[in-house]
A and B are shown apart, each in its own frame.
Chain A
Amino acid sequence: MSMMAVIDASVKLSGMDDLAMNRTIASVPFAGRYRLVDFPLSNLVNSNITSVGVFASYPFTSLMDHIEMGKSWDLDRRRDGLRLLPTVQHGAGIMSVGAFASFEEHIQFFNKSKRDYVVITNPFTVCQLDYEDMLSVHKQSGADITEAVSDGVQLKSYILSKPLFLELISSYKDKRVISIEDIVKLKKKPYTYGQYHYKGFFAVIDSVERYFEVSMALLDEENWRLLFRADRPVYTKVKDEPPTRYIKGSDVKRSLVANGSTIRGDVKGSIISRAVIIRENTKLQSCIIMQKSLISENCDLAFVIADKEVIIEEGVSLHGTAEQPIVLRKGDRVTKEDSR
């Protein structure tokens, strides 16, 4: 009963704008069947944390759609469970994780809780962090605030005691800090700062290029195994899609394929989400195709990210690069004339 947690889904990252125009970064689709928020949510649940506040700023409709009452993570509880806490701190947007001004708005959420420690994390770090382990390191070290790091990279996840957390919320203006990330970065006195060294697959996804790179890394079976561990499942909203159908003549290699798709074409080095249709004589190389998209006959796509419900008509040819993948926005319809 010792930890409660916050996922800061109100944080803005300008590098993600192409995929986060009409949704929070937390609800950006990832790895064929997930949303980015599934990773921190599952980590918290797998660490036996059952009191989670998700701080969200506009537009959060798709996030609400996805997490609903938290049922998929077993967080639809009579006591505690999942709370969606909308914040008015939007507009300019806060670029760092864990804004005190947002927490201040929902101070009751923290005051009411009987938990002793607060975990603050973000939706754009994909990893398999064990917060129980992190808490024991935090307690042993005696540090006031512990942050998770891996190979020198900050994972932007923090643990601190609730009394300290409340103290920071009441004094952040005087201390001239705006967020947890900020205070840890500045190493503000008189507090002490510890580190928890995480080992395992991780990725901080702060730009579309990085998103593409990390997605492709998951085509490596070893990385796939490290992230999708049987003992710590990644939970997501249930969809009742049947298994994927491979039609005679399809040629799929080195790809990640979710359920409900029908594949007739050639797919190499790509990620195919749920309920995607890929027609015959079509080639996909290094593409990410999101849910319910349709790729018609005789297309040739390379380094393309197609957001949800994109329709690519017959004979389209699109070639991006690993450094600059072509991003097709949700619901886009692409015709032969749009080829590039």
Chain B
Amino acid sequence: MTSKMVAMLLAGGQGSRLKSLTYDVAKPAIPFGGKYRIIDFPLSNCTNSGIETVGVLTQYEPHLLHAYIGLGTPWDLDRRHGGVTILPPYAEIEGNKWYAGTASAIYQNLKFLDAADPDYVLILSGDHIYKMDYDLMLDFHKETQAEVTLSVLEVPWTDTHRFGVINTDEQMNVLEFQEKPKQAKSNLASMGVYIFNWRTLRECLIEDSKKEESSHDFGKDILPVLLKNGSKMMAYPYKGYWKDVGTVESLWEANMDLLDSHSGLNLNDPAWRIYSSNVQMPPHIVTDTALLQDSVVNEGCVIAGEINRSIIFRDVKVQEGAVLSECVLMNGTVIGKGAKLNKVIVPPNLNVPDHFEISDQQDEVILMTQERIDEWKGSGGK
């Protein structure tokens, strides 16, 4: 009898640092890589890792996410037993069960987990770009007889202040957490991917729910308590590509990483497909005036302009004379004739007018908005 692991995917995040991109959609639903949404990555990882039961916990602006996931068909998770289940907050007699923190989100769904009756629970976030075999992590968890395993990866020492840092001994036993430390003791950052023995986690969640002072968060509350109580906690070293796309800058960087064959983010690997809801669009058309260099183009586009180092989503029109470099054009955008854009993310369905020019002197990534376009028009196109 093989042991059973259920994945719980935390997809409720607002992602306010992504500004207008998350105005009305949850962060996991943000488009990425010319075709995908961020949540395609953890969902495809689940499918490719052989996980058959996935709970997706939603909260902030869930409509698009719910419609997108649907029955889970694109990820082969439309199953009679298990499959994908969307878990929004709900109300019961004692009141509303709003998700206060990551741990409370799981606690509110004890009934779901009890019904699934897993041996292990895998906690995932819906806002990271990576390809990871969770089954290998489970093997590590079992071999080391851990009660909790955290997936960690080495980050540059200069970036440690942005992450939850894990200190371990040589056998990878977790000794200590440092949340966004000024002086980090290691450069192993937590990826927000945890495996728990279900019994251990269940007890701890119930205890935590009774504590009024708790923020009901895995990183701040559950993991430190388990460590203090002497639970065997291991750090699983992950070697592949991983990126938290929480900011406009990092979202742009992750898109650009697709153009770098050494980045480790290869979406063309038939052995580890990233599945996505496929919109039916014809192949894109490249006209006589187009110039395409070092770029990625999805279906349904008409490309008549010059494009260098850019990511072009479906149904995009780049008109003649437009010059783009290091841009991310999300689905349905139109770039007018002679427009010049450098290092710009254009959100879905935005029309950039003819001859619009933008490039920031500070070399920062620019998130295009309708307001910016209106302002430009108001100033007479200067």
Instruction: Show the binding face of A for B, using Cβ within 8 Å.
Output: 31-33, 219, 221, 224, 227-228, 233-236, 238-240, 242-260, 262, 271-273
Contacts and interface: CB of A to CB of B under 8 A. Distances in A.
B292 to A, nearest CB: 4
Contacts of B268: 242, 245, 260, 262
A254 B287 contact: yes
B297 A257 contact: yes
Most buried by A among B33, B276, B293: B293
A254 to B, nearest CB: 5
A238 B278 contact: yes
Contact of A256 (B35, B283, B290): B283
B82 interface: no
B293 A234 contact: no
Grouping DSSP codes into helix (H, G, I), strand (E, B) and loop, the A interface class, with mixed when no group exceeds half, is loop
A243 B286 contact: no
Interface in B40-76: 74
Contacts of B296: 242-246
A229 B268 CA distance: 29
Contacts of B284: 244, 256-257
A290 to B, nearest CB: 12
A271 B285 CA distance: 9
Contacts of A219: 285
Interface residues of B, number: 35
Interface string B273-312: 1111010111111111011111111111010000000011
Given A243-B312, A245-B296, A246-B294, 5 more contacts: A33-B283, A224-B285, A240-B275, A256-B282, A256-B284
A24 to B, nearest CB: 22
B274 A240 contact: yes
Most buried by B among A224, A245, A249, A271: A245
B287 to A, nearest CB: 6
8 contacts: A31-B283, A228-B300, A238-B278, A243-B298, A244-B298, A248-B294, A254-B286, A262-B268
B110 interface: no
Contacts of B275: 240
B206 interface: no
Contact of B34 (A234, A242, A249, A251): A242
A317 to B, nearest CB: 24
Contacts of B274: 240, 242
B282 A228 contact: yes
> Nearest 6 pairs between A and B by C-beta?
A32-B283, A243-B34, A228-B282, A243-B298, A258-B283, A242-B267
A246 B294 CA distance: 5
B35 A242 contact: yes
B286 A255 contact: yes
Contacts of B287: 221, 253-254
Most buried by A among B285, B288, B298: B285
Grouping DSSP codes into helix (H, G, I), strand (E, B) and loop, the B interface class, with mixed when no group exceeds half, is loop
Contact of A252 (B33, B273, B290, B298): B290
Nearest to B268: A242
Interface in B195-225: none
A257 B33 contact: no
Contacts of A256: 282-286
A254 B293 CA distance: 15
A228 B287 CA distance: 16
Contacts of A251: 291
A283 B313 CA distance: 27
B299 A221 contact: no
B280 A246 contact: no
A252 B35 contact: no
Interface string B143-157: 000000000000000
A163 to B, nearest CB: 36
A244 B280 CA distance: 16
Interface string B340-378: 000000000000000000000000000000000000000
A224 B282 contact: yes
A258 B280 CA distance: 12
A224 B300 CA distance: 10
A44 to B, nearest CB: 15
Contacts of B290: 252-253
B273 A235 contact: no
B283 A221 contact: no
A240 B273 contact: yes
A253 B288 CA distance: 5
Interface in B164-222: none
Contacts of B286: 252-257
A250 B295 CA distance: 10
A22 to B, nearest CB: 23
A285 to B, nearest CB: 13
Nearest to A32: B283
B299 A258 contact: yes
Contacts of A245: 268, 295-296
Contacts of B298: 243-244, 259
A275 to B, nearest CB: 8
Contacts of A253: 286-288, 290
A250 B297 contact: no
Contacts of A257: 283-286, 297
Most buried by A among B278, B280, B282, B284: B282
Given A246-B292, A249-B293, A258-B299, A234 B283 contact: no
A240 B34 contact: no
A243 B282 CA distance: 12
A221 B302 contact: yes
Given A240-B273, A246-B297, A33 B285 contact: no
A246 B282 contact: no
Nearest to A241: B268
B329 to A, nearest CB: 12
B79 to A, nearest CB: 15
Most buried by B among A246, A253, A255: A246
B346 to A, nearest CB: 16
Contact of B280 (A234, A243, A260, A262): A234
Interface string B26-39: 00000001110000
Contact of B294 (A244, A247, A255): A247
